[in-house]
A = this chain, B = another copy of it.
Amino acid sequence: MNAPLPAPAPAAAPADLVSRRVAGHSLEAPFYVSDEFFRLDIEAVFARSWIFAAAEAELPEPGDYITVDIGPYSVIAVRDDDENVRAFHNVCRHRGARILNDERGSVGNIVCGYHHWTYGVDGTLLHAESQAPGFDPSCFGLRAVHARTVAGLVFLCLAPEPPADFDEFASTVEPYLAPHNLPRAKVAAQTDLVEHANWKLTMENNRECYHCAGHPELQRCYFPLYNFTEDEVPPALRTTFARFRRADAEARATYESLGLPYAAVEELDTRPTGFRIEREPLDMAGESFTYDGTAAVKRLLADFPTARLGHLGLHLQPNAWFHVAADHAVLFSVVPLAADRTLVRTTWLVHADAEEGTDYDLDTLTGVWATTNEQDAVFVARAQRGIGSPAYVPGPYSPTESQVEDFVNWYVSRLKAHLETDVTAERKAERKADRTAELEER
């Protein structure tokens, strides 16, 4: 019998908790349960990193917009008249009202419904009624947010200086993604699921298949062999592993013949814009995320000579992952809502001309991942509840959980970088710059 639990550890400052983190183990409880870390995660991670926000397919035409909530921020992403995606804080420069209050729509100008201040889709203040002489509209444009698109995926960065490695990331993943034509796809379905867990538990859960026995539906088409080397494969999975080896060899041949990049590139904890990409086979029919592995959509995303392309898997820090098959793509984004609540948004993309009912059945298209999401929501909620006990102590990761460790490494390095920055100095500089700009505005 184990000794009874010691008293809870004394309350520690985030910096101390970060510095005393034990590698190879889950984080201490405050990282997952405290409001202080929730705020810190927004500030140090979500307001600093490139965040996957949406598919370009959600904004097909000029004037189309979506609103994206990232922690306490609300951002408008809008396609401008030059067909670029731009982004702005969704906050009126008059008295701060949220301007666009729907999740998506289409506008000519961006008009605040409170006092009718009117902005162009480039953020310029075009009209503000009844102002005093000397009021200079050019000082009151919408505040911009950095926006980038890569092969049909929209990324935002709230920081004044976004991580500079985005270009490298983009040029690495673009050749993998481009053949799937995502900029010209359409949204077939989108679901929002609120998980009762810290966002990091949601991400950690995504980064291992050690729990995949809990996903019987997913396991039909998806090889649950994540991160296993041959000698680590547990006995129960040896037959599956043999089947994977055969499918993998066949898939590589196909990828080579079609010129599709497939090699794993793994930069999960080695850079601010951490990612991993690889093209891999699927089980059964090998075409898609369905119960028998056959394509869910007759009309493929591109003119592929075969649907049997397995899937392109892309993992991004801090908040997204993607599975792109020949017939459809599934995009997952994660947004913290509170220390113990997290939004998981799942978006299914199909060819723009694929018709529901004719080319695909919605339940078949979404069944595997919708079911898997629901199962994961149960798992992470249990983790959150358990970690909330003062009896919780960090436990060891299994070797097959190495991407969980990568995620935690990346996360901890982001916190360290943030906490080591002389925040006060930085803000002083910014505030000074801001005051100067204000004075110039007057």
Interface residues of A, Cβ cutoff 8 Å to B: 1-10, 26, 29, 43, 47, 72-74, 89-99, 101, 113-116, 122-123, 128-132, 135, 140-146, 158-160, 204, 210-211, 213-214, 228, 232, 234, 379, 382-383, 385-400, 423-424, 426-427, 430-431, 433-434, 437
Contact = CB atoms under 8 A, between A and B. Distances in A.
A378 to B, nearest CB: 8
Task: Identify the 7 closest CB pairs spanning chains A and B, nearest first.
Answer: A89-B391, A6-B430, A98-B386, A96-B387, A98-B385, A96-B392, A97-B382
A234 B132 CA distance: 12
A101 to B, nearest CB: 6
Contacts of A101: 382, 385
Given A129-B234, A131-B398, A437-B3, A383 B141 contact: no
Which of A92, A97, A382 has most B Cβ within 10 Å? A97
B7 A95 contact: no
A210 B89 contact: no
A173 B133 CA distance: 36
Given A4-B144, A92-B395, A113-B382, 5 more contacts: A4-B143, A74-B389, A90-B389, A96-B383, A98-B385
A2 B140 CA distance: 8
A395 B115 contact: no
Contact of A26 (B95, B143, B387): B95
Contacts of A96: 26, 29, 383, 386-387, 389, 392-395
Contacts of A141: 1-2
A97 B2 contact: no
Contacts of A4: 143-146, 158-160
A389 B89 contact: yes
B114 A382 contact: yes
A396 B135 contact: yes
